[in-house]
Amino acid sequence: RPTKAFGTSGFQAKARAWRRDEAEKLLDAVAGRVILQGHHADDQTETVLMKMMRGCHASNIAGMSHRAGKYGRPLLDVSKDELLRYLTSRALEWREDASNADVAFLRNRVRAELVPVLRELTDGGLESRVEDIIEQSASLRRWLDAQPSSIVDAEAGVDDLAHGEVDVAAWSNLPELAQEDQLFEYVRRSTGVAVRYHNLRKVCGQMRNDTPAWDWRLSKEWNLVRVGSRAWTQRKRGVDKGEETPSAPSASEVERVVVDGGVVMSYPKGWRVRCFWENSAAAAAAAAAGDGVALANLPGGCELSLRTRRPGDRFRPPTRAESVKLKDWMRANDFPLHTRDRTPLVCSGAEVLAVYPRAVAAAVTPGDGSSVGDAFVLRVVVDGVTL
């Protein structure tokens, strides 16, 4: 018996979870291999009807399976009437769960009211029609699963894109049903949001147009973002203010680290950053691995920051006598559009000192044979960022 009553809210789901938990404990205690459940064909019919009532994709109508992990359902192809006839013919007793008669629960109401009407309207052919739907749904699911995936890995170091992102060109080449399926599954895996079908159709329509950059509200917490050739899910920060450009983070959203020599580095919380002087063992290891950027000619006690691009940013690369608009420099140097607002920038005040990890500004580039020693060259390594 459970240690306390479940209460009326979500009673059946809580009872089911308790039964499964207790069954798995017993399985482990007796070193068993499988937990056999008594679900029969009538249960399968009810399950499929309820999935259709609640709404599901045509490829996901399939009900319970004969084997799922630790659980087996050997009676799934046998109707309740067949089971009762078998037990009666052998004078065997069985138990009826009294709660099955309570039509306050949806499944019981489906069993008591909907199923009898559908059996009558189909001349007793309800179960065979349900089986046909299950088979057709399974065939569609196999076809969808065989389509090439449009989900690709994000560039290394973007921590909150562990589920990858959508390659818009690859997605656009898919059949329409596969587009819907892959976008739905990507959103569900990365956010936990199950987009309702009429909303999914709208999102797919937005994906198909030529607008290179937009945000689409998925829920109170999540947006789908497209920039250039990529689309990804992104958690909202605070209240949606309708800002077209990102604002500077508040003091509570920033980490501050003091490096030896009084240099201070600040960066958004959630970023993974390392800073050390070039004469350290850590810097030597990072340099050998090709990690980070090296900054020279830094004044003592200076304050640096790591952030992403803002309107008006300018950058002077070593090859230019004057600074240029950062957005123009990124375009000229083939930064993919979707990476431009993810790229970390090392800054001193409003001045961009480095575009990580591609380039360092002329003013802080370590010079060959200069008087600046390794002890005065700072290496900055960004191991991960959050969007």
Q: Is 121 left (phi over 0), alpha (psi -120 to 50) or beta?
A: alpha
pLDDT at 195: 93
Sorting pLDDT into bands at 50, 70 and 90, what band is 165?
A: very high
Q: Dihedral of the CA atoms 6, 11, 16, 22 (nearest 10)?
A: 10
> Does the pLDDT value for residue 351 go beyond 80?
yes
pTM, rounded to two decimals: 0.74
> At CA 244, angle to CA 240 and CA 249, rounded to 5?
65
Which has the minimum average pLDDT: 30-34, 142-146, 152-156, 177-181? Answer: 152-156
The DSSP output letter for 111 is I
Mean predicted confidence (pLDDT) in 72-88: 94
Sorting pLDDT into bands at 50, 70 and 90, what band is 191?
A: very high
Answer for the pair 303, 262: CB distance below 8 angstroms, yes or no.
no
Q: Write out pLDDT tens, residues 19-30.
A: 999 999 999 999
Task: Report the DSSP beta bridge partners of residue 231.
Answer: 166, 226
How many residues appear in the chain? Answer: 387
pLDDT at 366: 80
> Does the pLDDT value for residue 369 go beyond 50?
no
> Does the pLDDT value for residue 374 go beyond 60?
no
The 3-class SS string of 90-108 reads CCCCCCCCHHHHCCCCHHH
Which has the minimum average pLDDT: 35-49, 167-181, 247-261, 336-350? Answer: 247-261
Sorting pLDDT into bands at 50, 70 and 90, what band is 212?
A: confident
Mean predicted confidence (pLDDT) in 166-174: 96
pLDDT at 203: 95
Average per-residue pLDDT for the chain: 87
Residue that wins the pLDDT comparison between 12 and 161: 161
pLDDT at 7: 65
- Count how many Cα atoms sit within 13 Å of the Cα of residue 228 in the half-sphere of its side chain: 11
Mean predicted confidence (pLDDT) in 360-385: 73
Q: Write out pLDDT tens, residues 295-324.
A: 988 877 789 999 999 999 999 998 888 999
Handedness of CA 198, 202, 203, 205 (dihedral sign): positive
Nearest CA to 357 among 295, 298, 301, 267? 295
> Does the pLDDT value for residue 6 go beyond 70?
no
75: phi then psi, degrees, rounded to nearest 5: -100, 15
CA 197/CA 175 separation, integer angstroms: 17
Q: Write out pLDDT tens, residues 319-350.
A: 888 999 999 999 999 999 999 999 999 999 99
> Does the pLDDT value for residue 355 go beyond 50?
yes
CB neighbourhood size of 378 (10 A):
26
> Does the pLDDT value for residue 3 go beyond 90?
no
Q: Write out pLDDT tens, residues 140-150.
A: 999 999 999 99
Nearest CA to 226 among 185, 166, 275, 174? 166
pLDDT at 233: 95
